[in-house]
Structure 1
Amino acid sequence: MDIPQQVIELDGLTLRRFDGEADLPEFFRVIEESLEHLRAWMPWVAEHSRARTAEFLARRPERWASGEEYTYAIVLDGAIVGVCALFRRGDTPANGREIGYWLHPAATGRGLVTRAARAVVEQAFRLPGVDHVEIVHDLANHASGAVPARLGFSEHLRRPAERRAPAQTGENLIWRITRELPKTPAVPEAG
């Protein structure tokens, strides 16, 4: 099975697999410094702790190996500044994947997530059978919505969602980009 690259170099920006315990101090600090920035949109912030961050990092290798989730640290000038992940939710069709992302507030507004998401879309399309990628965000989260718009995604649908973070509206916008897969040649009938 083709799997995404573990390290992706993007002209001064690097996406790389997390390195478990080695990344814990820096990643925890980045989250701590980003809490107010993330609180409005990310429900997990309400339960943030060092232990939960360690648990998150400890699960990355198993999820990568299973193909369930490919989570990258976004690294700028040698420092972790955010996360970009490629995954399947329980309701995601086998031929689709979703991308999620966030950045430290000091790293926003420079196109870093757009570059990271573009690279991760390319990785998604390396996976066998994947013909579409989605980005899902709350309707009011305009910063998150700007990324798929810049990358050529199309608005796919809107659906109700549970409000789990303070700024969420209860409606998600789902963006989609597709790729045509090669058709399997027809097998001639014997006869």
Structure 2
Amino acid sequence: SVEKVFSSKEVPPWQKQLTLRAFVVSFVLGVLFTFIVMKLNLTTGIIPSLNVSAGLLGFFFVKTWTKLLEKSGMLRQPFTRQENTVIQTCVVASSGIAFSGGFGNYLFGMSEVVAKQSTEANNAQNIKNPTLGWMIGFLFVVSFLGLFSVVPLRKIMIIDFKLIYPSGTATAHLINSFHTPQGAKLAKKQVRALGKFFSFS
């Protein structure tokens, strides 16, 4: 098991997992993935699971960053798999809001501009011009609804029923394998393949 490689390594405290470089990379990848999600949402209406690609690109960027710092002798903290998980979580959460927030379908479908294109039910009751303040409030409700529903669902589905989630499990195995000597080489190959995929989509 890949986990045996990390059995002797101590898990860093949460303060060392939430680093500035993790948030910088998360922000850049979050913006990139949000554009990809919006394009897919407006053209096909569905999006693939982005967990694996977010974990992979997060590893690639921070590993490159830390290697450059290591060569210059300025590396203070090594890149950990926990930090990689923080990046992947932030990227998937931010790009997920673009999809579940309805920016590609119902959020702007309520507006007066879209309503004028239809002859059915075109009245004040069926029109809502979303303002910035209203959209921020709406996104908070959408985001926190998921957060509050996760706590009871975690107990039932993960602890009691011990269900394995394919996307999350695959991402965890992938992030673990990246942080092994052989995994770093594999990650470079996968980044090239991912670049080709995004250039075609």
Normalising by structure 1, we get a TM-score of: 0.24
TM score, norm. by length of structure 2? 0.23
- Using CA pairs under 8 Å that are at least 6 residues apart, name the structure with larger relative contact order, 1 or 2: 2
**Larger-Rg structure:** 2
Q: Which structure has greater helix proportion?
A: 2
